[in-house]
Amino acid sequence: MIERYNLLRSFIKSEIVEDVKFDNVVSEYWVAEPFIKIVIFEDVEHNKLKYFAIEPSLNVDELKILASLIVDLRRVLTIRDISLEPEERAKALVKNFEKLTKEYGIKVNSDLYSRMLYYLFREFFGYSIIEPLMVDPNVEDISCDGYDIPIFVYQKNYGYLETNIKIPKLALDRLVMLLTQKSGKHISLANPIVDSTLPDGSRLQATFGTEITPRGSSFTIRKFATQPLTPLDLIRFGTIPLGIMAYLWLAIEHKLSVIVVGETASGKTTTLNSILMFVPPDAKVVSIEDTREIRLYHENWLAQVTRTGIGEQEIDMYDLLKAALRQRPDYIVVGEVRGKEAQTLFQAMSTGHASYSTFHAGDINQMVYRFESDPLNVPRSMLQFLDIVLVQNTYLRGAKRIRRTKEINEILGIDPVDKNLLVNQFARWDAKRDDHIEVSTPKKLEKIAMSRMDDVYEELQRRKRYLEWMINIGVKDYTEFTKLIHNYYRNPEVAISRAL
């Protein structure tokens, strides 16, 4: 998205700065200067904060001209123009825009030219009316609940806020169709609900019409960072402490299976994606998801996505998981376990495949209960092949949402007497101190030690120092992080010497 605005800046002919005054401003910031500014202010009358997106202004006559230009540009821009590289597409748009204004006989001064060009870029290359929300890096969720209803966003510093954006019926129907088309799906009255992934990796859930959502078409967008979070980010945020992260690195190298458990929006997929960056460089990884969310910097990685709504040719996670087992993967990743694929996943664990997934549950007891109940029906004898369970949750600190891994559990087997799972919870989060406390020793290190020639506890300390070194030198990009991890695998002595 930043590239789009860099391109736009090269075409505009004047500066666009909207001088809008607000009382009781709490925060204001540019998200695409000089085009989009965000103001968060206190609505004293209703005693709440509101989110206001400021864009270049157009009067009624100018809006009518813009609407006509958009219709005609859609007609004259060819398939060839659409297939060009971004810079060439931008040039084609500007060229046809200038041509049409001459045909209309309209004199467009440099200020109006720049303002209209912003809206043309927004319409043809962006996300239409919700563009400001999509480009705001502080927005995590976008919720539209129906026709002419204010859109709400979750702003990471202030929580849920009402915005100044309302979308009428025809415009919202068009926007929902645009979003689903961008994600490679189709929505209609016959197929009125879609769950998919937008090109930037954000998750989209949309409905069309009033049949299943009486207030009108709707959508929810769960945004994901352009750069996926690394284990270093989770350490910095306090989600997982340094020592536990070094332990997980060892566990993943030695193919211990991990499930991240938590409630909705607790950051399960983010945590799963980050710890998978510890996978050894030469390992074969197969990932299976309903909507594409896992992002790795790994050469030998086969990413698979389910296909629905195509009659008998529908391909679900169970089908993909069965096929994956025939591809001799070292690591199997299932985005989220929800159905009959659970039994196959645990069968894969029992045959030595390192398996990773997320699961909706509040704690390890709920996880066991749900796995053993319909429709999953995983027998307890299979659950013992799972090695590690991370329990994650979301907490509010004021209006800010924080995510913490509240428990780190190891499954050690089944008690021969009462048939209960033997669980070693060796670390947990203390809410009062906002700190993780080790309450016992990790038993899986003993299992890891059996396959190593060196002292596993010394190796754990070396990896802690290596991760700490990466934090100190400011590693943030996930590709740079992964390269450094791969360097450690290939020559640990050289890699650790840099960190000393």
In this structure, is residue 280 part of a structural domain? Answer: yes
What pLDDT is stored for residue 2 in this prediction?
66
Is residue 372 in some structural domain? yes
Which range of 79-93, 301-315, 465-479 scores highest in mean pLDDT? It is 465-479
Q: Dig out the tokens for 463 from the structure.
A: 């990896």
CATH of the domain at 458: 3.40.50.300
In the predicted model, what is the mean pLDDT of residues 279-304? 92
- The stretch 220-247 carries a mean pLDDT of 93
- Residues 6 or more apart whose CB falls under 8 angstroms from that of 482 comprise 277, 296, 297, 298
Model confidence, pTM: 0.82
Enter the tokens of residue 388.
Answer: 């590690």
Mean pLDDT, range 131-152, rounded to an integer: 95
Identify whether 41 is part of a domain.
no
Q: How confident is the model at residue 130 (pLDDT cuts 50, 70, 90)?
A: very high
Going by C-alpha positions, the residue among 360, 320, 316, 354 that lies closest to residue 337 is 360
CB count in 10 Å sphere of residue 105? 6
480 pLDDT tier (thresholds 50, 70, 90): very high
301 belongs to a structural domain: yes
- Residue 284 counted as domain residue: yes
In a domain? residue 10: no
Contacts of 85 (CB under 8 A, 6+ apart): none
* pLDDT for the residue 308: 67
Which domain, by its residues, includes 368? 231-499
Q: 162 to each of 43, 133, 222, 442, how far by Cα in Å?
A: 10, 12, 16, 46
Name the most confidently modeled range: 242-256, 292-306, 394-408: 242-256
**69 located within any domain:** no
Residue 83: pLDDT band (50, 70, 90) is: low
Whether residue 162 has pLDDT greater than 80? yes
* Geometric angle at alpha carbon 17, from 16 and 23, rounded to 5°: 155
- 486 φψ region: left (φ > 0), alpha (ψ -120 to 50), beta (else): alpha
* DSSP run (H or E) holding 320: helix 317-325
> What integer is the mean pLDDT of 60-67?
92
pLDDT at residue 329 in the model:
94
CA nearest neighbour of 153 among 131, 175, 171, 168: 131
State how many domains the chain has.
1
Give me the pLDDT at residue 157, please.
87
Q: Say which residue, 38 or 191, is predicted with more confidence.
A: 38
| Region 419-435 average pLDDT | 93
Mean pLDDT (the chain) is 91
Q: How confident is the model at residue 428 (pLDDT cuts 50, 70, 90)?
A: very high
Indicate the pLDDT class of residue 69, thresholds 50, 70 and 90: very high
Which one, of 355, 316, 303, lies nearest residue 333 by Cα? 355
Is residue 281 one of the residues assigned to a domain?
yes
